[in-house]
A and B are shown apart, each in its own frame.
Chain A
Amino acid sequence: MGDTPHLVLSGLAKTYPGADGAAVRGIDLTVERGRILAVLGPSGCGKSTTLRLIAGLVAPTAGRIEVDGRDLTDVPVHRRDMGVVFQSYALFPHLDVARNVAFGLEMRAVGKAEVKRRVGEALELVRLGHLAGRRIAQLSGGQQQRVALARALVVEPSVLLLDEPLSNLDARLRSTMQDEIGRIQRETGITTVFVTHDQQEALSMADSVAVMNEGRIEQTGTPQDIYERPARPFVARFVGRANMVEGTSRGRDGERTLVELPGLGKVPAAGDPVETGRPATVMLRPHRIALAAAAPESGGARGTVLSAAYAGETVAYRVRLGDDGPVLDVERPTGSEASHGPGAEVALSWDPEAPRLVADPS
């Protein structure tokens, strides 16, 4: 488990006939054996097409798909051995739960007794053993999702592909199924790729995350990489909330780059260095900025609270830096500290790791 490349995509591209541009513009991805990769992006970014390319449901315009070093690019969908769970679940409404799960085994001409045993095991895995005889229409959304998982897993595919696995479930069920998919993946140890537009889902479920935008992969990395060290402004904005402040590089300060920011002065920021005098963009996560009532004589960053929105666990502030500087989002936990009303003068501070340089896509 781990560290050996299992699924490898290289230069994979797809242009639909008659479409304006390419849906997928040459992506390279590697998933290690037994790991979970999340492909994260806004709708229309090409993430679902990527999943359909891997499954073999659409043919790529260019590029290769390999599993265990074997080129699958031209292998037709029904011989590709991919387990797919569709967003709509795509269960067979005229078959009961057990027959749905048995379908893949019947296609593989598995003997009756073994079909029965393996269907039973698969249903136990997703904790639906008691519903084997039910009709699909009698199941709840969460149960249908489990049937779809069992149906995909029962044939022991080489890779499990999940298309927006939680998007059709309500909030409470979503977190349950999130844990369930995690448990099932750990128990089966199957290499998994799932597609989502939900950054929380991607960060909490995946071993690595590929952020996609406009048919390209913007950044691939661990959830921590993606969230704390976004390589590009798109990633910073799409994954979590971010203040992006544009300024000018003023040279190095040890490990960091000093960036002159409007209303903030020279701020040391971590990340890939930017040449002195060049424009630089600094990212600051709203929850990493601390606020305090401004003492008259204190230095540092100061600002004026424009608005404060109470949201239960947190208060979301909008703070204008200096007199006419940029406006920052600041998020503070409630209860533990004093709140600040609109118009209040505040001093802003953050730990030195918080500001990150984010390269422009150019």
Chain B
Amino acid sequence: MTVRRTGRMPWAHRLGRAGWAAVLVALYLFLLAPILVVLVESFDDATYLRFPPQGFTFDAYGQVFANESFRLGIQVSGVTAAVTALLAMIAGVPAALALTRLRFRGRSAIEAAFLSPLLVPHIVLGLALLLILAPIPLTDTYWGLILAHLGVTVPYVVRTVSAALMSADPRAEEAARTLGASGFTAFRRITLPAIRSGLLSGGVIAFLLSFDETVISLFVSGQNTVPLPVAVLQYVEYRSDPSIASLSVLLVLLSVVVVVLVERGLGLRRSLRSG
């Protein structure tokens, strides 16, 4: 009897793989179906939200940019998110350095404090921030929004930068010092490049989180500075038309574009995974 060599896998094996693929597809469909519904609905020509849609038009996208509260909201959220991301990066690096490189009394308590905004419900944080910011008064201002957003974004920067620092050799900075670099030069020339991708992915996460932040913003914003998510909420309180769906699609696109750009250049996934 001769053994036939074929490149084929045993049929049971192939069936198993097909089964796995089916499960994965079903899982992704379950996760993405709502977004798909929104995407389809964003091209409807009705003046109210309905599913399935009956017509096809790009009008809803035009309406997003025609709506002044949306335009202002995009501006408020954009500026807030950019400044928040920048400040979160500036604050996150020294915090991560201290938490990973120094040993001091209460280090783990401070580490826990840095991560606690991720655990406390945003509605509690929002209320607390309202009580603090109202008397200053910083409610309904850019700086109030930025301060509030920093609380929930700095922990992410601390995390991504700490992960990068942990995988970098602390002796490299010492080596630079022995070669004649001052403390600052050694940090800038050796440590900063080593944590660059962690820092930038932390910044991108901070930007996206801030741009998307709703609950806390709801508490600390007022009539003058209304970030986009709050503007959307106010809009759908009275109306529901496909322009909301179009706006949602645009927001998803923004996230995807930013993440893909960063992933291409920096390996966002890698720095998140090592965290």
Q: Which of B3-11, B56-64, B169-177, B229-237 contacts A (4 or more CB under 8 A)?
A: B169-177
Judge whether B194 and A151 touch: CB under 8 Å.
Answer: no
Task: Tell yes or no: A183 within 8 A of B by CB.
Answer: no
Q: How far is the CB of A99 from chain B (nearest CB, A)?
A: 10
Residue interface bits B163-196, CB-to-A below 8 A is 1, else 0: 0000011011011111111110110011001100
Q: Name the contact of B178 in the complex, choosing from A82, A91, A92, A94 (C-beta under 8 A).
A: A82
Q: Which residues of B contact A186 (CB under 8 A)?
A: none
Q: A80's closest neighbor in chain B, by CB?
A: B178
Chain A residues with CB under 8 Å of B171's CB are 86-88, 90
Prevailing SS type, chain B contact patch: helix
Is A286 an interface position by the 8 A CB rule? Answer: no
> Is A78's CB under 8 angstroms from B174's CB?
no
Q: Are A57 and B179 in contact (CB under 8 A)?
A: no
Measured CA separation A236–B169 after assembly (Å): 37
- CB of A108 within 8 A of CB of B176, answer no
For chain B, the count of residues having a C-beta within 8 Å of the partner chain is 20
> In the assembly, what is the distance between CA of A143 and CA of B119, in Å?
47
Q: Cβ of A84: which chain B residues have Cβ within 8 Å of it? A: 174-175, 178
CA distance A55 to B176 in the complex (A): 12
Write out the residue numbers on chain A whose beta carbons fall within 8 Å of the beta carbon of B178: 55-57, 77-78, 80, 82-84, 152
Kindly list chain A residues whose C-beta atoms are within 8 Å of the C-beta of B174.
57, 77, 84, 86, 90
- Residue among B180, B186, B193 having the largest count of chain A Cβ atoms under 10 Å: B180
Residues from chain B with a CB closer than 8 A to the CB of A86 are 171, 174-175
Nearest A residue (CB) for B185: A107
Number of interface residues of A (CB under 8 A): 26
Q: A93-B194, A94-B194 are in contact. Are A79 and B180 (CB under 8 A)?
A: yes
A20 to B182, CA, bound (A): 31
Complexed CA–CA distance, A66 and B220 (Å): 62
> Which of B140-174 touch A at CB < 8 Å?
168-169, 171-172, 174
Q: Does the CB pair A107–B179 fall under 8 Å?
A: yes
In the complex, chain B residues whose CB is within 8 Å of the CB of A148: 175
B180 and A104 contacting across the interface, CB-CB below 8 Å: yes
Decide if A234 is an interface residue (CB 8 Å cutoff).
no
B197 to A: closest C-beta gap in Å: 11
* Chain A positions 50-109 with a Cβ under 8 Å from a chain B Cβ: 55-57, 77-80, 82-84, 86-88, 90-94, 103-104, 107-108
Report how far A108 CA is from B182 CA in the complex, Å.
Answer: 11
Residue contacts A-B, CB under 8 angstroms, 21 given:
A57-B174, A57-B178, A77-B174, A77-B177, A77-B178, A78-B179, A78-B180, A80-B178, A86-B171, A90-B169, A90-B172, A90-B174, A92-B172, A93-B168, A93-B194, A104-B179, A107-B181, A148-B175, A151-B175, A151-B179, A155-B180
Q: Which residues does A use to contact B, with CB under 8 Å?
A: 55-57, 77-80, 82-84, 86-88, 90-94, 103-104, 107-108, 148, 151-152, 155
Q: Which residues of chain B have a CB within 8 Å of any CB of chain A?
A: 168-169, 171-172, 174-183, 185-186, 189-190, 193-194
